[in-house]
């Protein structure tokens, strides 16, 4: 075995180790492997081979990531943004959004709100604004926040 074959086998071993721990997007793998001293020219053929073999799949990664984040009380806008940062294509994001539409619902928003703030009506505009900013930062759309009108102060 020459040095190039040793490097390729070490690279493949590193990829499989990373993928055995959890799903990774292709972009995440490239970044992690470059930090370990491999060049992008070395990485790309190995990743292509792993994708063909079914070890790495961006759509599967997006599904796992979205399920976890939506289940932790984040809205779809935030999840989609984070997936784009991780190199997932808009086509894969659209597919995953359709698959997990039931996790990103008004009901999940109300459950998150009640878990964090309870069921009491807010008494001030400032407190209401603070709560809405929190939910917007979690990735819920302003149109979804209208489901929370029952908690809104009467003076608004």
46: domain CATH number? 1.10.10.10
Q: Beta-strand (E) ranges in 18-144?
A: none
Q: In terms of Cα–Cα distance, which of 123, 121, 148 is closest to 134?
A: 148
Classify residue 13: in a domain, yes or no: yes
Q: What is the pTM of this model?
A: 0.82
Look up tokens 């294509």; give the residue: 89
Residue 9 belongs to some domain of the structure: yes
Let me know whether 16 and 49 are in one domain.
Answer: yes
Instruction: Give the tens place of pLDDT for each residue, 96-140.
Output: 998 887 766 777 888 888 888 888 778 788 989 999 999 999 998
Task: List pLDDT tens digits, range 39-72.
Answer: 999 999 999 999 999 999 999 999 999 999 988 8
Q: Is the dihedral of CA 86, 92, 94, 96 positive or negative?
A: negative
Instruction: Give Cα separations from 44 to 91, 105, 135 (angstroms).
Output: 21, 38, 39
On whether residue 125 sits in a domain, the answer given is yes
Residue ranges making up the domain that contains 82: 59-103
- What are the residues whose beta carbons fall under 8 Å from the beta carbon of 54, sequence distance 6 or more? none
The residues near 102 (Cβ < 8 Å, ≥ 6 apart) are: none
Task: Clarify whether residues 96 and 63 are in a common domain.
Answer: yes
Token pair of 6 as six digits: 């040793």
User: Is 69 within a domain?
Assistant: yes
Residue 156, domain member (yes or no):
no
98 with 64, same domain?
yes
Cα separations (Å) of 12 from 29, 46, 64?
A: 11, 6, 23
Q: Indicate whether 7 and 44 sit together in one domain.
A: yes
Q: What total of structural domains would you count in the chain?
A: 3
Whether the pLDDT of residue 6 is over 70: the answer is: no
Quick check: is 64 in a domain? yes
Query: pLDDT at residue 1 above 50?
Result: no
């Amino acid at each position: 075995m020459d040095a190039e074959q040793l490097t390729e086998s070490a690279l493949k071993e590193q990829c499989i180790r990373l993928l055995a721990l959890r799903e990774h997007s292709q972009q995440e793998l490239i970044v992690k492997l470059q930090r370990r001293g491999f060049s992008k020219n070395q990485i790309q053929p190995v990743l292509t081979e792993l994708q063909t073999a079914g070890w790495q799949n961006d759509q599967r990664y997006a599904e796992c990531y979205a399920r976890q984040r939506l289940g932790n009380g984040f809205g779809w806008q935030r999840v989609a943004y984070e997936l784009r940062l991780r190199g997932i294509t808009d086509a894969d994001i659209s597919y995953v959004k359709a698959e997990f539409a039931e996790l990103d619902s008004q009901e999940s928003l109300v459950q998150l709100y009640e878990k964090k703030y309870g069921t009491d009506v807010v008494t001030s505009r400032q407190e209401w604004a603070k709560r809405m900013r929190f939910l917007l930062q979690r990735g819920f759309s302003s149109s979804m926040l209208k489901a929370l009108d029952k908690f809104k102060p009467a003076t608004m």
